[in-house]
A and B are shown apart, each in its own frame.
Chain A
Amino acid sequence: MQWAVEDKEYLRKRGFPNLTANNVRGLLVIGRSSDLSAEELAKLEGLNAEVRGKYEIKTFDRILEENEAWLKNLKEMLAQK
């Protein structure tokens, strides 16, 4: 995530002139929720709250949960029409 701050010039040269410190954030995908105790999950949430706006840490299971929920919600929205 630190890379985002350190090498913006490189990205500007590659054609991303709009890149500023305010419009970059990070996503770290790591670990499994099933390997975490309730206390550790709470700790992870706390950590995410601390770094909010800069980057977010998600487990691989969380990615699945989000996509399942996304699919379910959009299906429901379409069904309402």
Chain B
Amino acid sequence: MDRMPTYAICAKCGEYFGNTAKVPCPKCGSYKFKIVFNTANNYSGSVAVSASNSSAFEAISYAKNMLSSIAFSDPKRAPFVEPIIEKLDVAAEAVKKQEIELARSQKTDWAEYEKKVEEYRGLLSKSAEEPEFQKFFENNPVFLESKVKTSIPKASLGGEDYPDFFMILHDSSHLIVEIEKPAVKLFTQMGDPKAEFTHAQQ
């Protein structure tokens, strides 16, 4: 996943510059700048692990990389930056331990979880229909969202007019889930979203 910034904006003169490793600002020489992330690059279609379990560690790694590049590009600043990098190393270790403990508490029965993954794979292999997937997700909401605390199925919400699941997550946010047909084609031959796909989004 690409998490590098796209560009930086100088806080003094407003100059945009692409390579943030090249501090200071190439126009005015200021060291104060704001990093702007390329959100399109941050989005990944193949995020492997839930962000909730990797973001703290990634953020620390990113900060370390930034500080290292500052120390590299400006050796005068290295004595100030290096102690911070060392402290970040300690923080990274602590976060990693926490993540391991979280992993242990969330999914303790690995063999059972593997069986569930196998069961889901089986549903895909036999081209199961929507109701079978709905039943599976009802019993295993963590497959849809690893932060799920409570999952309420459509029937408990009020019936057909409601989405398939309403979830309350551990971070107190909410997720509304709609399960559609696996066999549906998403795009027309012209490459436009098909009506069924567009309807599902609404």
Contacts and interface: CB of A to CB of B under 8 A. Distances in A.
Contact of B107 (A52, A65, A69, A74): A74
Contacts of A16: 168, 174
B48 A31 contact: no
A31 B198 CA distance: 13
Interface string B94-128: 00100110011001001001100100110010000
Interface in B138-165: 143-146, 157-158, 161-163
Chain A's interface: helix, strand, loop or mixed, by majority? helix
Contact of B178 (A24, A28, A47): A28
Contact of A31 (B104, B113, B176, B182): B182
Interface string B35-57: 00001100101111110010000
Interface in A18-63: 18-19, 23-32, 35-36, 39-41, 43-45, 47-49, 51-52, 55, 57, 60-63
Interface bracket on A: 35 or more
Contacts of A74: 49, 53, 103, 107
Contacts of A49: 39-40, 43
Contacts, number: 148
Interface of A: 1-4, 7, 10-11, 14, 16, 18-19, 23-32, 35-36, 39-41, 43-45, 47-49, 51-52, 55, 57, 60-75, 77-78, 80-81
Given A11-B166, A78-B104, 16 more contacts: A7-B162, A24-B173, A25-B176, A28-B177, A29-B137, A30-B186, A31-B184, A40-B186, A43-B191, A60-B124, A60-B133, A63-B120, A67-B143, A70-B48, A71-B113, A74-B49
User: Considering the complex of A and B, which 6 residue pairs feature the smallest CB-CB distances, nearest first?
Assistant: A69-B48, A30-B180, A23-B173, A74-B103, A45-B45, A26-B176
Interface of B: 39-40, 43, 45-50, 53, 96, 99-100, 103-104, 107, 110, 113-114, 117, 120-121, 124, 133, 137, 143-146, 157-158, 161-163, 166, 168, 172-187, 191, 193, 197, 200-202
